[in-house]
Amino acid sequence: MEDIRLDSLEGVGPVTARKLTDAGVHNMMDLVVRGPVEISDITGMEKDSTEKLVNKARQYLADGGVLSQDFVSASDIYKRRQEIGKITTGTECLDTLFDGGIETQALTEVYGEFGCGKTQFCHTLCVMVQKSREEGGLGGGVLYMDSENTFRPERIVSIAKANGMDPQRVLDNIVVARAYNSSHQVLILEEAGAIIRESNIKLLVADSAVGLFRSEYLGRGTLSERQQRLNHFVHLLVRIAEAYNCAAVATNQVMSSPDVFFGDPTKPIGGNVVAHTSTYRIYFKKSGKKRIARMVDSPHHPEEEVIFGIGEAGVIDPEDPKAKKARKAKADPAPPTDGPGDATDAGTPDTGN
Ligand code: GTP
Ligand code: MG
């Protein structure tokens, strides 16, 4: 990426650069991601000046090909979309659901009740994103915003081992930011720009995105304030994912929704703010030992369901009953038949009845 330092921008002298840096805005990308209103709020600069500044930064980055131009042809958008990377989930079933994997330049929201595997899914992606492109990863690192204190390096180690990767190297490429309250969670994201570039971050995880907001803003009176702040957080997440060509994954809990009489009476918390910003929404559900994942909302995937499991290797494909049977048969070979060899059996119609 080319030079995006603040002082490369015409009109930014040492004083302005200092003011911005003190407020946590370290480069042009930060300017664009945060936007003029916020830059004005945090630096005390006039709105007129911050608007000019942000526009200049956007133009500079667009000229350098880092961001797309304001008016672009459909073919340019197409080209930008060609740069979208995908991270394999390490399973066939979930990759099918995601049509290849978790996309960059998008926010994927995973919601479901406790223990349905949201955190395990995030841990698995932390390892998968580090695989090479040929192997379904993006060869990049992770920024893991942990607001529930559920990040477990031991799980990363076991998932890495199961994938034949060096666990130490895999751990070294994950930056964990423990968020203590919702403002802190927002702050981490606001300051993430530098680390995303320096550490070649390709996956941002917010586990969970909503939990802290929910516990801090209790009661109806504070609902709109909560939504506003949550809205800010989620939009920031999307803008960063777009600007840096990273994948963003946010988890969300569910609440019972008494107004649903048929079907599953659970809805993601956070309401519409999160729903409308996420590009993809996946619902995880427990079903005995298995898990079900359903694509709930996507601009181009069909609404589909798949079954998956959780194991040493993170999220895993469910054991195929046929494969299980075959394995059992192999371990316990049947007496030889006097029919022709295996090769001629291919395509023989089922003679079972
Ligand atoms: P909340 O954060 O509480 O909302 O839940 P969650 O959706 O994040 O659940 P999480 O991903 O933590 O999933 C927990 C499930 O994963 C439990 O059912 C555990 O039994 C299972 N699990 C966690 N680690 C392992 C493991 O190493 N092996 C196996 N087989 N299962 C595991
Ligand atoms: Mg969890």
Residue nearest to atom 2 of ligand 1 (CA): 114
Who contacts 243 (Cβ-Cβ below 8 Å, separation ≥6)? Answer: 29, 32, 33, 67
> With 70 as the cut, is the pLDDT of residue 262 above it?
no
Over range 304-329, report the average pLDDT.
Answer: 83
Task: Tell me the C-alpha distance between 225 and 339, whole Å.
Answer: 75
CB count within 10 Å of CB 46 equals: 10
Q: Is the pLDDT of residue 308 over 70?
A: yes
Q: Which of 43-47, 153-157, 269-273, 335-339 has the highest mean pLDDT?
A: 153-157
The whole-number average pLDDT for the span 41-55 is 93
From 120, 252, 292, the mutation candidate for ligand 1 (largest count of ligand atoms within 8 A of CB) is 120
Among all bound ligands, the one having the nearest atom to the CA of 110 is 1
Is residue 268 very low, low, confident or very high in pLDDT (cuts 50, 70, 90)? confident
Q: What is the pLDDT of residues 278-296, one digit of tens each?
A: 688 899 999 988 999 999 8
Residues in contact with 83: Cβ distance below 8 Å, sequence separation at least 6, in sequence order: 104, 105, 245
User: Are the C-beta atoms of 253 and 269 separated by less than 8 Å?
Assistant: yes
pLDDT score of 322: 66
Higher local confidence (pLDDT), 35 or 160:
160
pLDDT at res. 343: 39
Looking at residue 348, its pLDDT comes to 37
Report the residue among 148, 284, 310 best suited for mutation to probe ligand 1: largest number of ligand atoms under 8 A from its CB.
310
Tell me which of 171-185, 208-222, 276-290 is least confident.
208-222
CATH entry, 86-316, from 2.60.120.330, 3.40.30.10, 3.40.50.300, 3.30.230.10: 3.40.50.300
Q: Which atom of ligand 1 is nearest to the CA of 115?
A: 9
Write down the domain spans for the chain: 6-70, 86-316
Which ligand is located closest to the Cα atom of residue 290? 1
Which comes out higher in pLDDT, residue 353 or 315?
315
Q: Quickly state the pLDDT bin for 353 (edges 50, 70, 90).
A: very low
Long-range contacts of residues 181-187, Cβ cutoff 8 Å, at least 24 apart: 181/212, 181/216, 182/212, 182/213, 182/216, 182/217, 182/229, 182/230, 182/233, 185/145, 185/147, 185/212, 185/233, 186/229, 186/232, 186/233, 186/236, 187/24
When pLDDT is averaged across residues 306-322 and rounded to a whole number, the result is 90
Residue 67 C-alpha to ligand 2 middle, in angstroms? 34
Ligand 1: atom nearest CA of 117 is: 11
Q: What per-residue string of b and e applies to 214-225 under the rule 16 or more CB within 10 Å gives b?
A: beebeeeeeeee
From the options 1.10.1530.10, 3.40.50.2000, 3.40.630.10, 1.10.150.20, give the CATH code of 6-70. 1.10.150.20
Q: Lay out the sheet containing 305-311: strands in order across.
A: 174-178, 141-146, 201-207, 247-252, 106-112, 280-287, 290-297, 305-311, 314-316
Quote the pLDDT of residue 94: 96
Kindly identify the ligand whose nearest atom is closest to the C-alpha of 118. Answer: 1
Polymer length of the chain: 353
What's the pLDDT score for residue 223?
75
Which residue, judged by its Cα, is nearest atom 23 of ligand 1?
120
Split at pLDDT 50, 70, 90, the class of 73 is confident
| Token pair in block for residue 180 | 């203590």
On the question of pLDDT at 71 being above 80, the answer is no
| pTM of the predicted structure, to 2 decimals | 0.80
For residue 237, how far is its CA from the centre of ligand 1 (angstroms)?
A: 25
Tens of pLDDT, residues 92-117 = 999 999 999 999 999 999 999 999 99
Sign, Cα dihedral of 158, 159, 163, 168: negative
Return the closest-CA partner of residue 122 out of 206, 41, 196, 229. Answer: 206
State which of 94, 119, 146 you would mutate to test the pocket of ligand 1, scoring each by most atoms of that ligand within 8 A of its C-beta. 119
- Average pLDDT of the chain, as a whole number: 85
Give the pLDDT score at 140.
Answer: 97
Please check the confidence at residue 352 and state whether its pLDDT lies above 60: no
When pLDDT is averaged across residues 260-283 and rounded to a whole number, the result is 69
Distance 343 CA to ligand 1 centre (A): 43
Question: Residue 277 corresponds to which tokens in the numbers above?
Answer: 């910003």
Residue ranges lining ligand 1, Cβ < 6 Å = 112, 114-120, 148, 150, 253, 310-312
Q: Whose CA is nearest to atom 15 of ligand 1?
A: 115
